Amino acid sequence: MSYKHFTIRERSQHRLGWTARAIARKVNRHHSSVSRELQRQADQDFYDAEKAQESYIIRRKHCKRHEKWNAARQQYITAKLAET
């Protein structure tokens, strides 16, 4: 299953007063995806595409894969190999 993030252009298509299904048809996305996007800013009075894009960028920065190899692990492995 392929997954594609909303672009700033697609976010700007979220019109005030439109249903999630109407917006989904306009941007050619599933209505559930649009609904989740709108729910991410449910605490505000209106949907702001620029703020949504900024929030997306911040969330993506924290969504990185943890490193498996680091200096501490390298020292540990080197020490264990030296013991053998």
DSSP for residue 18: -
Report the candidate in 10, 34, 8, 7 with the shortest Cα–Cα distance to residue 20: 34
pLDDT in tens, 45-76: 777 888 888 888 888 888 877 778 888 899 99
Contact assessment for residue 29 and residue 37, using Cβ atoms and an 8 Å cutoff:
no
- In 3D, which of 11, 2, 5 has the Cα closest to residue 49? 11
Q: Are 11 and 37 in contact (CB under 8 A)?
A: yes
| pLDDT at residue 20 greater than cutoff 70 | yes
Whole-angstrom Cα distance, residue 59 to residue 45?
A: 21
For residue 29, which of 53, 52, 7 has the smallest C-alpha distance?
Answer: 7
